[in-house]
Amino acid sequence: LRESFERELEAAKNSEAVEKLRVAYLGKKGSVTELLKGLKDVSGEQKKEMGQHINLLKKQVEEKIGAQIEKIKAAEEEALVASAEQYDVTLPVTEAEGSYHPITLVQRQLEEIFASMGFTIEDYSEIVDDYHCFEALNIPKHHPARDMQDTYYLENGQLLKTHTSAAQNAIMKKYGAPLRAIFPGRCFRNEATDACHENTFFQMEGIMIDKNISISNLIYFMKTMLSEVFERDINVCLRPGFFPFVEPGFELDISCLICGGEGCPSCKNSGWLELCPCGMIHPNVLTAGGIDPEEYTGFAFGLGLTRLVMMKYGVKDIRDLNSGNLKALSQFRHE
Ligand code: FA5
């Protein structure tokens, strides 16, 4: 039996053939299984001895089949790699198939708008520490405001940036005042997703610090940004909002452009979408950034970039933007 098994195993060149062999020897009615069943008719010492032999044979058959499967898998993978090598990546393409992601398109448009108003564009890490994400923003440890954002903590004690405000302190320290900067970035929050919430989304932060900056400057920049991005009139609602790093703070909502303000899943049936919280930078935050709040004031805003893209392009479900669905994304071709 052992000999015939080894012969057949040698001949089994693909996983299907090995599986057939496994069934033929180890399956319910397989030869080895039948041998084991036959033990019931043998008695005494002989039963013990035969039992040991058959079990050893069973173990060897199992091991050899396992090894053969590994060998075949490796050969199949190698064949796959070899066939991939047949593509000639140096051939010129007849037509470019790629397109920019709509978030990239809107981010670039915003960068242009703000650069034309004297803002610099800053980059910042996605992995940050507690100090930058919270403490430097006037959110001490155990402050209830930390519960406003469900944070992903890393094993080394650092965390994934929950908001672009996490870069404020470093940028203030880098440039001092006066200062105008925007910093787009990806944010992460451990929250349940729905049509207007993702666990990974983009924001774009902006800060402007100078002598005599007031709420009217803030309103002017918000209005300019929105009218240039949407290229049409939109309804905006500015209402008080609480964030420990601004005083006073505001929520800037826009009338939902998916339903025209009637209410739909994209705006949780309210007709409005929270888009760009903002406010006057809290003196404690300026101080932590090395800027004297007696001399300088400033505003900050945290634009929900992914939501802005939803509204601009009429994307009903925010999750579509992270889906990587090329068919859906390729409609946003850049002229
Ligand atoms: C903040 O993150 C503050 N850092 C914003 C800020 C900056 C306030 C500067 C004042 C001064 P909030 O958690 O509300 O605030 O998020 C800001 C915006 O990001 C929201 O209005 C929304 O448009 C977007 N946003 C927040 N959570 C999500 C999410 N889960 N999915 C998609 N967009 C989101």
The response to whether residue 253 sits with its C-beta less than 6 Å from ligand 1 reads no
Determine the residue of 106, 149, 161, 163 to mutate for testing ligand 1's pocket, defined as the one with the most ligand atoms within 8 A of the Cβ atom. 163
**Predicted pLDDT at 141:** 86
The response to whether residue 161 sits with its C-beta less than 6 Å from ligand 1 reads no
86, pLDDT greater than 90: no
As annotated, the binding site for Mg(2+) includes 247
- The string over 235-249, giving b where at least 16 C-beta atoms fall within 10 Å of a residue's C-beta and e elsewhere, is ebeeeebebbbbeeb
Average pLDDT value over all residues in the chain = 90
What is the Å distance from ligand 1's center to 162 Cα?
9
Q: What is the 3-state secondary structure (H, E, C) of the chain?
A: CHHHHHHHHHHCCCHHHHHHHHHHHHCCCCHHHHHHHHHHHCCHHHHHHHHHHHHHHHHHHHHHHHHHHHHHHHHHHHHHHHHHCCCCCCCCCCCCCCCCCHHHHHHHHHHHHHHHCCCEECCCCCEECHHHHCHHHCCCCCCHHHHHCCCCECCCCCEECCCHHHHHHHHHHHHCCCEEEEEEEEEECCCCCECCECCEEEEEEEEEEECCCCHHHHHHHHHHHHHHHHCCCCCEEEEECCCCCEEEEEEEEEECCCCCCCCCHHHCCCCEEECCCEEEECHHHHHHCCCCCCCCEEEEEEEEHHHHHHHHHCCCCHHHHHCCCHHHHCCCCCC
**Predicted pLDDT at 333:** 62
Question: Mean pLDDT throughout 283-298?
Answer: 97
**Predicted pLDDT at 334:** 55
pTM for the structure as a whole: 0.73
Each residue's pLDDT tens digit, 232-250: 888 889 999 999 999 999 9
Question: Mean pLDDT throughout 316-328?
Answer: 82
The residue whose CA has the least distance to atom 3 of ligand 1 is: 302
The residue whose CA has the least distance to atom 31 of ligand 1 is: 197
What is the Å distance from ligand 1's center to 39 Cα?
72
**Predicted pLDDT at 335:** 46
Each residue's pLDDT tens digit, 28-70: 889 999 988 888 888 888 888 888 889 999 999 999 998 988 8
CB 194 within 8 A of CB 187: no
Q: Packing angle between helix 215-230 and helix 102-116, nearest 10 degrees? A: 130
The residue whose CA has the least distance to atom 2 of ligand 1 is: 163
